[in-house]
């Protein structure tokens, strides 16, 4: 399965998280955890969610790597 975390430049920094259908991962929950940790707002469903965060894109990537590795994905 695949989990994708996309980010880019902007104010706030845009983030999109999506997963393939065969992965038991809730993108909406992940976005809520990310916005709590990094600041920002967002939401979505289990298969796809988006946010605008107050952190730089490299911080978003570091957070995502740590969080996904902790979930053993």
On the question of pLDDT at 19 being above 80, the answer is: yes
DSSP code for 21? T
On the question of pLDDT at 73 being above 90, the answer is: no
* Average pLDDT score over residue span 64-69: 95
Task: Name the band, by pLDDT with cuts 50, 70 and 90, for residue 71.
Answer: confident
* Average pLDDT score over residue span 46-68: 97
What SS3 state is found at 49? strand
Q: Tokens at residue 32, please?
A: 């809520």
What SS3 state is found at 32? helix
Q: Tokens at residue 34, please?
A: 């990310």
Cα distance between residue 12 and residue 65, in whole Å: 20
On the question of pLDDT at 58 being above 80, the answer is: yes
């Amino acid at each position: 399965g695949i989990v994708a975390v996309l980010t880019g430049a902007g104010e706030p920094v845009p983030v999109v998280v999506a997963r393939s259908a065969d992965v038991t991962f809730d993108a909406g929950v992940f976005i809520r955890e990310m916005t709590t940790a990094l600041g920002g707002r967002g939401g979505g469903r289990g298969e796809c969610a988006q946010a605008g965060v107050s952190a730089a894109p490299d911080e978003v990537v570091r957070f995502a790597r740590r969080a996904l590795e902790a979930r053993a994905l």
